[in-house]
Amino acid sequence: MMRDMNEKVGWIGTGVMGKSMCNHILTAGYQINVYNRTKEKAKELVNMGANWCSNTREIAEKSDIVFTIVGFPNDVEEVYLGENGILKSIKNGSIVVDMTTSEPSLAQKIYKEAKKIGVSSLDAPVSGGDVGARSGKLAIMIGGDKETYEKVLPFFELMGENLSYMGKAGAGQHTKMSNQILIASTMIGTVESLLYAHKAGNDLEEVINVIGKGAAGCWSINNLGPRIANGNFEPGFFIKHFVKDMGIALKEASNMHLSLPGLALAYQFYMYAMALGLENMGSHGLYKVLAKMNGIEI
């Protein structure tokens, strides 16, 4: 099912994930209005036919549906509710979809503010990293009104293959927090496993090939393990953004009087990575942190 091809789509945020996600919609034939704080990061999309807009207000004025995927909750709040925010100028009857991993409470606030002006809102964070974004195989977790979800579904189908409507506003973000909590501990196991193999003198790629097909197999070992083995710590997902996500999860857990000691431990390891200046590495850069803690040269 496709939506009206004359419908104008706005896209804000063309970073590691956003550029590929936007590209899928653009190559499907939709008219795209695009904005990013760093214009250079949108150049490829503009060269392919996307229309550059100078700010978020212009995106809102020229688009029927607006997707956003930015960095941090304060960025989301500024993009939607700031002086030049989307909700200051978007047309009645439009749809906004935030795909940033952000705070559930902020998703609920945006939903309520949008509702006041006749605009529908979804929170739709994603999982799958740069690989999933490029291949169009992301997992997308969606919160908001079911009717709005069904309207936006054709776009979600261009970006992902594991699409889940989770319930009311904020439910998508809560689901993403569950995802990040699981990844946090899994990543520790992944890097400790490979660091052990390295210290023991095993070939990392051979180890990954064996254990990745057994009971220990998981996305992290099978997708990020080979990057570690090849010394490639370029970001599919930034350490600084993972720290942000874990901070949100710990805050939400605290609000629910829930103790998550495994997440708290992972958070401390990643804060150490930040202190070492590794914030712009991929989340698998934790391997470097634990190697340093053990005095191992890699």
CATH of the domain at 246: 1.10.1040.10
How confident is the model over 102-116, as a mean pLDDT? 97
- Clarify whether residues 153 and 183 are in a common domain: no
- Clarify whether residues 194 and 127 are in a common domain: no
Is 160 part of any domain?
A: yes
Tokens for 192?
Answer: 């400790």
Q: State the pLDDT at residue 2.
A: 56
Distance from the Cα of residue 224 to its chain's centroid? 16
Nearest to 9 by CA among 27, 29, 30: 30
* 80 C-beta neighbours (distance < 10 Å), count: 26
- Bridge partners (DSSP) listed for residue 141: 164
Residue 217 has pLDDT above 70, yes or no: yes
Split into its structural domains, the chain has a count of: 2
What confidence category does residue 17 fall into, taking pLDDT thresholds of 50, 70 and 90?
very high
Tokens for 229?
Answer: 């083995």
How confident is the model over 264-274, as a mean pLDDT? 96
pTM value is 0.90
Q: State the pLDDT at residue 1.
A: 53
Is 225 part of any domain?
A: yes
Q: State the pLDDT at residue 298.
A: 83
Is 183 part of any domain?
A: yes
Residue 100 has pLDDT above 90, yes or no: yes
- Clarify whether residues 146 and 67 are in a common domain: yes
8 A C-beta contact, residue 220 and residue 183: yes
DSSP calls for 4-18: -TT-EEEEE--STTH
243-270 exposure pattern, b = at least 16 Cβ within 10 A, e = fewer: bbbbbbbbebbeeeeeebeebeebbebb
Is pLDDT larger for residue 5 or for residue 112? 112
Catalytic option among 19, 62, 109, 176? 176
Nearest to 93 by CA among 112, 110, 115: 115
E strand or H helix that includes residue 87: helix 86-89
Q: State the pLDDT at residue 3.
A: 63
- Clarify whether residues 278 and 257 are in a common domain: yes
Helix pair 104-116, 171-200: axis angle to 10 deg:
150
- Is 176 known to be catalytic? yes
- Please give the residue range of the domain that contains residue 163: 8-168
